[in-house]
A and B are shown apart, each in its own frame.
Chain A
Amino acid sequence: MSPFLFWPFALLMLVFGAAVVVNRNPVASALSLVVSFLGLAALFMSLDAYFIGIIQVLVYAGAVMVLFLFIIMLLNLRAEEGRQVSWLALIGGIAVALALLAQILYVIHNLKSAHQAFPPLTRSTFDDVRNVGLLLFGSYNLPFQIIGILVLVATIGVVLLSKREPR
């Protein structure tokens, strides 16, 4: 992928990812998350993973974000105001995150293959839905069915949780 496309999309994703954390208004955070996920989907496509990129847009930017926005509207949440920021917690949290980032960067720096470019593909990946599907229904058939059970359990759990208890 050309750096002229990689860096703008990576920056878009990181800036709006930071906006999710910085914004005080939950609606603004949710909308920033949508833009961040769209940038991430572009990065997936740049890695020749078209199927994952499209799934990212459909599931995250579509379904999950509608769910978040729906809950925010339902609970009528406002921006956090009037409460003073706890500086100790703020500085502590940022320090721990920076320490984690430093460790990740150190590991990546010492990884030999991290300094190599991506080897070229000799075949087109436009039909990667087929390849992912063959793996899903072939080698990963049992995990695929277990995931189905998991989604069923989650659905039943959500219905049970949101049912109003009789008094």
Chain B
Amino acid sequence: MVTLGDYLIVSGILFAIGFAGVMVRRNLIVILMSLELMLNAANLSLVAFSRFQVQQSGLPNYNAQVFVFFIITVAAAEVAVGLAILVALYRARQTTDVKDITSLKF
């Protein structure tokens, strides 16, 4: 029997993997991919809670699924803008390594 906790644990592990990717990796593209992993982990727990709260009509709570829909839209826009910034940065500096981008470092 699969419980709500199983889905939440899988979602938490996925979030931790994405977080470790953001902390450890230095390639900006891989950091963006890890951000996507974290967003999707949040989506998974939202959908799990949506299915857990069955309403009077016998259907899952669709408010959470609308929220997931918004998150997916914002994430797609975020990836487009992030990759455009990456291309502009590569044009200026010929690198995607965060170690080489220290202009704002104090």
CB contacts (< 8 Å) of B87 on chain A: these are 71, 74-75, 161-162
The secondary-structure label for the interface of chain B is helix
Q: A36-B37, A49-B60 are in contact. Are A161 and B30 (CB under 8 A)?
A: no
Per-residue B-contact encoding for A18-57, CB less than 8 Å = 1, 0 else: 1011000010011001001100100110011101100110
Total residue contacts A-B, CB cutoff 8 A: 232
- Interface of chain A, main secondary structure: helix
**B60 & A121 in contact (Cβ 8 Å cutoff):** yes
How many whole Å from B37's CB to the nearest CB in chain A?
A: 6
B15 engages A14 (CB within 8 Å): no
A residues contacting B by CB (< 8 A) are: 1-3, 6, 10, 13-14, 17-18, 20-21, 26, 29-30, 33, 36-37, 40, 43-44, 47-49, 51-52, 55-56, 59-60, 63-64, 67-68, 71-72, 74-75, 77, 80, 89-90, 92-94, 96-98, 100-101, 104-105, 108-109, 111, 113-123, 125, 128, 131-132, 135-136, 140, 143, 147, 150-151, 154-155, 157-158, 161-162, 164
| Chain B residues with a Cβ under 8 A of chain A | 1-10, 12-21, 23-27, 29-30, 32-34, 36-37, 40, 43-44, 47-48, 50-52, 54, 57-60, 62-63, 65-66, 68-70, 72-81, 83-88, 90-91, 96-97
